[in-house]
Structure 1
Amino acid sequence: MEKELKYVDLVEQPISMHPKKFALWLFMVTVVMIFAALTSAYIVRQAEGNWLEYDLPEIFWFTSGIVLLSSVFLHWAYISAKKDNLLQLRIGMSIAVALGIAFLVGQWYSWVALVDRQVFFVGNPSGSFLYVFTGLHGLHLISGVIFLIIVLISSFRYKVHSQSMDTMEMATSYWHFLGGLWIYLFMFLLLNH
């Protein structure tokens, strides 16, 4: 009596991710590469000399606190959405949006402070880099605020709740990413200025 060998094909489950989430992660990787290239160029150009020395605007400390605080409120909104607490979701989202706008206003005033210190976009490369860093980050932050507003509106239309978290998760990931990116840039500028 011979034993039959049975072959069982094990079908592996592919790693699945929502296509929009995947696109967002690819976009964030691209942004990291852009800022990595810019910070590398900053270090190389600084080593060449002819580098204007100036103090960073003090408002950067406040805007850093604002962006961190906005992430805290957004995370609170995220947890509230998972618990179907729509009131707290809306409050947290509203505060995060307001703080995001406050951050952008603060960044505008940082440019005003730079102009008052005779640091301009054209002229010395040290000023140019600072304007490019803050301007490019600000542009991404504007898109983040718009994303948060879309999620806030969706929350009032009952489209964000524990059973529908995709846009909330994407907005939270993107916003935390932008906050982390700002902290990286600020620390980079403090250490390499």
Structure 2
Amino acid sequence: MIAILAFLTVVALLVLWWISRQGLMVKPWLETDSVATLGGADQPRLPPAQIGLGIFLAVVGSLFALLISAYVLRAQLGDWRGFPLPGIVWANSLPLLAASLALEWARVRARHGDIMLAQAGVIGGMGAAAVFIAGQLWAWTILTANGYAITSGPAGSFFYLMTAAHGLHVIGGIVALARPIAKIRRADDVAAIRLSIDLAATYWLFMLLVWVVLLLVLSGWAAAFLALCGRIIAGSG
């Protein structure tokens, strides 16, 4: 229960931070330029695509929060047998980090009007994400060879389930990256290209954060940290 509340809190804070960046927290009645405000009253401050992405990320975050909660509760039963994560699982974080950084770089380039450089960043992000998926498959192969198959026990089942859920969202993100590339090659409106890249960068940052949380949970670090916090709270009470 503590794990799911902690994760949902992180998701809520991220969503609020993202909303504040998009200008949803602006109070139009406090704007000094009333003419400009009235003139743009019929125009939404935030594109529907960004609102949709925010809702989608909240749903995805809730899904992973439920998975983490189920993992923590199941790990408390007596038949739970954990296993050490192979090194490739940790090293595989680097391609995902590279994909997120490439998309952030593409976002900056697009905002400065360097559309072709932005396209290079998107393509680089796609390549790094593909490497991440290959690394996940390699990790599964190593675990299976060491006797930790999906049916070897609850710990193994949860590992495959949680990493597969994340991997599917990464694959979906790779497919979605074709959209800004298509917009660039069609020479669409620059504003539309910027929006598409901005959405992609936000999505990949979220996927990176989810992966970090999953690593902390699957490695046992999150449980140790929560247990320490519980002892501190109990001692202070």
TM-score by length of 2: 0.72
> What SS class does the counterpart of residue 102 from structure 2 fall into?
helix
Structure with higher RCO (Cα < 8 A, 6+ apart): 1
Q: CA deviation at 1:22?
A: 1.3
Per the alignment, residue 48 of structure 1 pairs with: 77
Question: Identity, % of aligned pairs?
Answer: 28
Structure 1 residues 133, 163: closer, same or farther in 2, change over 3 A?
closer
Q: Residue 6 of structure 1 corresponds to which residue in structure 2?
A: none
> Which position in structure 2 is the counterpart of 1:188?
217
Aligned-CA RMSD value: 2.2
**Residue 165 of structure 1: SS of its match in structure 2?**
helix
Q: Which moved more, 1:152-161 or 1:135-144?
A: 152-161
In the aligned structure 2, how far is the partner of 1:183 from the partner of 1:147?
22
Q: Give the drift of 1:20.
A: 2.0
Whole-Å separation in 2 of the counterparts to 1:153 and 1:58: 37
Q: How many residues align?
A: 184
Give the drift of 1:17.
2.3
1:159 and 1:137 mapped to 2: Cα distance?
Answer: 31
Q: Residue deviations 1:64-108, cap 9 Å, x none?
A: 111111111111111111111123112111111100111111111
CA-CA distance at 1:155 after TM superposition:
2.0
Contact preservation (8 Å) 2:107, 2:118: yes
- How far did residue 162 of structure 1 move? 5.0
Cα deviation for residue 16 of structure 1 reads 3.8
2:170 aligns with: 141
- The answer to whether residue 120 in structure 2 is matched with residue 111 in structure 1 is no
Task: Return the match for 2:157 from 108, 128, 141.
Answer: 128
State the match for 1:88 in structure 2.
117
- Structure 1 segments (4+ residues) deviating >4 Å: 10-15
Q: 1:167 pairs with 174, 181, 196, which one?
A: 196
More deviation, 148-157/115-124 = 148-157
Which structure shows the higher helix fraction? 2
Corresponding residue of 1:99 = 128
- Gap regions ≥5 residues in structure 1: 1-9
